[in-house]
Amino acid sequence: MRFTRLVNASVLAVVAVASLSTVAASAHDARPPKPQEQTLRALAARHGLYFGTAVDPAAYGDASDPAYKRTVDTQFSTVTAENAMKWESLEPTRGTYNWGPADALVDAAVRNRQLVRGHVLAWHSQLPAWVTAGIQDGSIDGPKLRALLKQHITAVVTHFKGRIWQWDVVNEAVSDPWETPSAIHLGGNAGSFKQQFADLLGPDYLAEAFRTARAADPKALLFYNDYNIEAFGDGGPGDKTQFVYDMVKRLRADGVPIDGVGSQGHLATQYGNYDVFQVADAMQRFTDLGLAVALTEVDARSLLKNADDPALAANSADVNARDQAAAYNYHVLLQACLLNRHCLSFTVWGFTDKYSWIPTWFKNPPEGAGCLWDAAYNPKKSLRTVQGDLAAAGAPLVQPRIPQVPRQLPRR
Ligand code: XIL
């Protein structure tokens, strides 16, 4: 009896101590998961921001690499087809549309509760061979090209109607300051295909492309998308951002249904970078026009010692310096976006160095190492920086996003 009572008392004591420590332990356990253990989409959702990636259907469907699909499905709240919605992919043979891969991507996005950025409608690059050849041999003249483009936009936007959040309606329509003539203009280098494409279409093709897209989908947000427009320069004739600003301002003033400007955000650590407020100022000027903005293709590449570096022959001093510089580039773009309530989404152009377009595109000299995860899916400094930026931001300076209302065609 007495023994039992003693036991009971000590059991009670143990229980009391245990429950005390349980209380203490659960106070710790009640904390949310560490930011670096949360998904990018969850961290971004605190700000109403969508965090996205470009998706390569071949990698997504590769059963021998489940990490790719798992990362797409879990980390991101918006996706872009890296190539599958380009004209050359959709209509390789004139009159025969191949919707399969793009439809599969949109279906997967719906399953994952992800929004889709449609990329891309009017662009001089990655055209079907039959269009490029027709332009080059003169069988496709200006009126024909305008008619083909209009038909293409109508077919594609109608096909995906209601399933696309943001369309890149016009991509990379203007020149770069290192081209000839150096004053920014519609087109590209004198004599280039990009210039020929712009000249055939004529200066009104942007307005027409946006109106055509709007007629086919009243709800999608319609974007102009380009690179090297993250910050303003000197405002002179060689300032690409200024040119794009003036262009979209005119489109808005003319009642054209353009809803946003996409800044691709392909940065490189060997160049001097902007700071957060230069990028924030540029975004502010665009959003003061009533437009939304988005970062649409972010990566931050570096010069490599050779094509195998950093996987093989890299010097760790180089790798460390590059990783930190790349992380800073992501940080500048993401913080600027967070600071603007009309910056709706932040999309990276691939998330693992394993499949990045950079090494295949920038070969001489070799560049790479631009993504958030390395080629073996290890988190890089860039990923940690982005997670930290999303976790540490909040009111009063960072507020939830304000949804953009799609601008409609004037009633007639
Ligand atoms: C790139 C793709 O990533 C590559 O796979 C393809 O070979 C070329 O195009 N700006 C854009 C994107 O708008 O469509 C480009 O994507 C990268 C630059």
Cα angle for residues 387, 389, 395 (degrees, 5° grid): 125
Percent of the chain with pLDDT over 90: 87
Between 2 and 388, the more confident residue is: 388
- pTM over the 0.85 mark: yes
- Return the pLDDT at 10: 43
So which residues are the catalytic ones? 172, 297
User: Could you give the CA distance from residue 349 to residue 333 in angstroms, rounded to a whole number?
Assistant: 14
| pLDDT tens-place string over residues 157-215 | 999 999 999 999 999 999 999 999 999 999 999 999 999 999 999 999 999 999 999 99
pLDDT category, 25, cuts 50, 70, 90? low
| pLDDT tens-place string over residues 318-336 | 889 999 999 999 999 999 9
CA of 227, closest atom in ligand 1:
10
Q: Which residues line ligand 1 (CB under 6 A)?
A: 82-83, 171, 264, 297, 357
- Return the pLDDT at 189: 98
pLDDT category, 26, cuts 50, 70, 90? low
Please say if the pLDDT value at position 243 is more than 80.
yes
Mean of per-residue pLDDT scores for the chain: 93
CA of 357, closest atom in ligand 1:
3
- Return the pLDDT at 114: 98
Q: How far is the CA of 297 from the centre of ligand 1 (A)?
A: 9
- Return the pLDDT at 312: 65
User: Could you give the CA distance from residue 273 to residue 268 in angstroms, rounded to a whole number?
Assistant: 8
186 neighbors 198 (Cβ within 8 angstroms): yes
- Return the pLDDT at 7: 41
DSSP code of 162?
A: T
User: Could you give the CA distance from residue 234 to residue 152 in angstroms, rounded to a whole number?
Assistant: 37
What CA–CA distances, in Å, run from 186 to 179, 206, 275, 410?
12, 10, 28, 26
pLDDT category, 14, cuts 50, 70, 90? very low
Between 193 and 30, the more confident residue is: 193
Q: How far is the CA of 86 from the centre of ligand 1 (A)?
A: 10
Percent of the chain with pLDDT over 70: 92
- Return the pLDDT at 18: 40
Q: Name the nearest CA neighbour of 300 among 377, 338, 356.
A: 356
User: Could you give the CA distance from residue 336 to residue 321 in angstroms, rounded to a whole number?
Assistant: 23
302 neighbors 322 (Cβ within 8 angstroms): yes
Other CB atoms within 10 A of residue 243 CB: 21
Q: Rounded mean pLDDT of 396-410?
A: 97
Strands 343-348 and 266-268, how do they pair? unpaired
User: Could you give the CA distance from residue 80 to residue 77 in angstroms, rounded to a whole number?
Assistant: 11
- Return the pLDDT at 12: 40
Q: Rounded mean pLDDT of 141-161?
A: 98
Q: How far is the CA of 12 from the centre of ligand 1 (A)?
A: 68
Mutate to test the pocket of ligand 1, among 349, 355, 356, 371 (most ligand atoms within 8 A of CB): 349
Q: Which of 122-126, 213-217, 269-273 has the lowest mean pLDDT?
A: 269-273
User: Could you give the CA distance from residue 403 to residue 344 in angstroms, rounded to a whole number?
Assistant: 8
- Return the pLDDT at 5: 42
| pLDDT tens-place string over residues 68-98 | 999 999 999 999 999 999 999 999 999 999 9
Please say if the pLDDT value at position 60 is more than 90.
yes
